[in-house]
A and B are shown apart, each in its own frame.
Chain A
Amino acid sequence: MFEPRLFIEGEEMKCRICGRAGEDEVCKRHAEAEIKLREHFKVWAERTGIGWTEYLRAIVENERTGTLVKEAAIYLLRSRR
């Protein structure tokens, strides 16, 4: 099961989701996944009236969701962002 990594001050910046090197909290690919998640939330909210947390849960449970998006959604759920 996926576990978000802890961020230690002073340590080389690594993606908190996959551990790959990056210049931010998450790597480029997971950052792209997060952007997509936020973009599509607008569609979901308009079509279903769903809230952010509920949306993330639905995305995680959906079998069509891409792996990177699923990992980003789990990360967002756990970090409550």
Chain B
Amino acid sequence: MAHHLLVCEKPSAARKIAYLLGGRGVSRIGRRVPFYRFQKDGDTVTVVTALGHLYSPAQQGKGWSFPVFNLVWKPASRGRAKLFLVEIARLAREVDSFISACDYDTEGSLIAFMILRNACGGADARARRMKFSSLTRDEIVKAYENTSELDMPVINAGRVRHEIDWIFGVNVSRAMMDAFSCKTGGFEVLSAGRVQSPTLDALCRREDEIDLHVPDPYWIAGAEIRFPSNGERARAEYSRNPILRKGEGEDLRRRCEGSSGTVSRVEDSELTIPAPTPFDLGDLQSEAYRAFGFQPWRTQKIAEGLYLEGLVSYPRTSSQQLPPSIGFRGILTRLGTNDEYEEGVNAILEYADARGRLWPRQGKKADPAHPAIHPTGVKPKRLGADARKVYDLIVKRFISTFGPPARKSLRTIDVKLEMGDVFSVKAEAVSDPGWMEYYEPYAKARSSRLPEVAEGEEARAEKVWVEEKFTDPPPRFNQISLIRFMEKNGLGTKSTRAEIISTLYRRGYIAGSGIRVTDRGRGVIEVLRKRFPDLVSIELTRDLEERMAGIEEGREDYSAVLIRGADAIKGSFERTISEFEAVGEEISNLVNALREKGEKLGPCPSCKNGELRIVRSKKTGKRFVGCSNYGAGCSFSAPLPQRGAIRATGEACRMCGHPTVTVIGAGGRTDPWRVCLNPGCSSRVRR
């Protein structure tokens, strides 16, 4: 009789896996640090859990200096994480074999590896790996019965990512903070990161393009055309839009308004819109943003919750493909037991039977570890409002991928007026909604009627208009378009992109839903561009990402990639050290300017001539609002939220006239909210 130790990534996953494998025979042991034990096939199984990463890279030895390249993986030394680690180490001494049951991806593999190697006495050499994509009984039992060796290439890719990120982040942040401290004797947190900084640089470049945009004028002409044969009216566009001279538009209006002509061309065509591809994480985030306005990190969190409930497959996937091994018919049949999806599922199964094949539309992107995000077919019991929305989106997307293509009829009608000017009516109507029917309300089969006219028929331009337009600046990034940009440029991974964007918000480097770079963000980037150009280079980051992917695929060597990463930034450190004073000067100028601007919140409502500022209590370290005339007797003070960046709005509160501030990125929120500095004001409600 053997005793196996299963290492899971988080408590909810451990609980789920234990009950899926052990059923009613599972005993939950321990209160603060729970683990699960049951008998299976004559063996004892103990399921323990981590709390995400229990080991992280840290400096070897003590001291604060840079550059520092000597790193070790240190265990969590505080709080609950330490308790979990102690318990895992204790239980490891009682067992014969070890199984990694963490999420099957880079992070999950690394979490288990570090625990097995360090807390379980080097058990990584003999441990096995459970590979699964959803927390369903069938899949977990199958994964338990068919374990494989630890996926060392994936683990090494994860290790090198953390180690290079540590080398970049710690060294650059320390270099900036040290230079500032040497110059001023003060301290200021200025952070940089291997993925974070090139992303911020790209945002700054977009901001520059917007700031330097000069709008050019152009004109668009249109007409309301009436067909006397049937009395129908339609809006038409001038065939030679855009008009590039001011007078031309006016001339056109004068000669065409009220004039008659004939239908010179009627052209019909059909547009086929194939079923959508299954969701990878980026597609799901983008669709949830479009449909519900959810920010990417929120969608990812909800999808991970649904995965832990066993309702959907593993969401951190870059695959847009569904393999038949997931059991298309089985999942659809189980979904069909839910009244909401019954009709759609039945229609899809009928369509598949008539076609003789049940097959989804597959996307181009593949992921060797996981299929595209799909429902497991397990019926949800209780779901919160947001989780229900994301679940419904995933289910309807899954069903619609099996649907027939949608078809649209398009009709272009050219009307030639007396003076030879041509206006075109473009109309479309859905002739067959196909898959759109199963994806409602996320796809709407908008239907309009096509005007019935024939060539040679009479037509009349009832009204003609000319609209002045201006070229637009490039659009600001939002979180979705930024994730897409990062994806395209190889910045970060599917799992880290949303988190990196949240970090930029939390640091106060960016703000708003149409992302704007703050003065702090721009200041930091200007220092980095000058002093650490490699760190903001998309090329270097992309190259490292490709090499890390190469480790995962067995093409690249762990040590070689690590050395390449360290070498890449070594030159910048050497330059910084030789110009330390100048770097300190630049950073102190930046910090002083930011402090001066950021700390002034508005006029004091009490003494009237003082300036309200952010002050930190020497005793508690907490921040609050105080008046610059404190020394002269003004005792005005007001509390402030302790998290997030504070920015003065420059506007007085409508209710009480006190100054107001904007709080950015507090508590994981990314939408800034405004607060009045008067603690007693009735407007102190989050916006």
Name A's B-contacting residues (CB within 8 A).
29, 32-33, 36-37, 39-40, 43-44, 46-49, 59, 62, 64-69
Contacts and interface: CB of A to CB of B under 8 A. Distances in A.
Contacts of A49: 246
A59 B215 CA distance: 8
Interface string B197-229: 000000000001111111111100000000000
A49 B244 CA distance: 12
A67 B246 CA distance: 26
Contacts of A68: 211-212
Main secondary structure of the interface of A (DSSP, over half): helix
B246 A65 contact: no
B473 interface: yes
Interface in B394-414: none
A36 B212 CA distance: 7
B245 interface: yes
B211 A67 contact: yes
Among all A-B residue pairs, the 10 with the closest Cβ atoms: A66-B213, A40-B214, A64-B215, A66-B211, A68-B211, A67-B211, A48-B246, A43-B216, A66-B212, A36-B214
B472 interface: yes
Nearest to B246: A48
Given A64-B471, A66-B210, A47 B218 contact: yes
Contacts of B471: 64
Interface SS, B side: loop
What is the interface residue range for chain B against chain A?
10 to 19
A67 B211 CA distance: 5
Contacts of B64: none
Contacts of B246: 47-49
Contacts of A64: 213, 215, 470-473
B218 A62 contact: no
Nearest to A33: B212
A44 B216 contact: yes
Contacts of B470: 62, 64
Contacts of A47: 216-218, 244-246
Contacts of B473: 64, 66
Given A47-B245, A47-B246, A40 B211 contact: no
Interface of B: 208-218, 244-246, 470-473
A73 B244 CA distance: 23
Contact of A65 (B213, B218, B245): B213
A69 B217 contact: no
A43 B212 CA distance: 16
Nearest to B468: A48
Contacts of B218: 47
A59 B216 CA distance: 9
B250 to A, nearest CB: 12
A49 to B, nearest CB: 7
Nearest to B209: A66
A32 B216 contact: no
Most chain B Cβ neighbours within 10 Å, of A46, A64, A65:
A64
Contact of B216 (A29, A40, A66): A40
Contact of A69 (B214, B244, B245): B214
Contacts of B217: 44, 47-48
A69 B211 CA distance: 7
B196 to A, nearest CB: 24
Nearest to A67: B211
Contacts of B214: 36-37, 39-40, 59, 65-66, 69
A33 to B, nearest CB: 6
A36 to B, nearest CB: 5
Contacts of A40: 214, 216
A46 to B, nearest CB: 8
Contacts of B244: 47
B593 to A, nearest CB: 10
Contacts of B215: 59, 62, 64-65
13 contacts: A29-B211, A29-B212, A33-B211, A36-B212, A36-B214, A47-B217, A47-B244, A47-B245, A59-B214, A64-B213, A64-B470, A66-B214, A67-B210
A23 B211 CA distance: 21
- Highest count of chain A CB atoms <10 Å: which of B209, B211, B218, B473: B211
A45 to B, nearest CB: 11
Nearest to B219: A47
Contacts of B212: 29, 32-33, 36, 66, 68-69
Given A43-B216, A46-B245, A62-B470, 19 more contacts: A29-B208, A32-B212, A36-B212, A36-B214, A37-B214, A40-B214, A40-B216, A44-B217, A47-B218, A47-B246, A48-B246, A64-B215, A64-B472, A66-B210, A67-B210, A67-B211, A68-B211, A68-B212, A69-B212
A46 B218 CA distance: 11
A33 B471 CA distance: 17
Contacts of A59: 214-215
Contacts of A32: 212
A37 B211 CA distance: 12
A69 B213 contact: yes
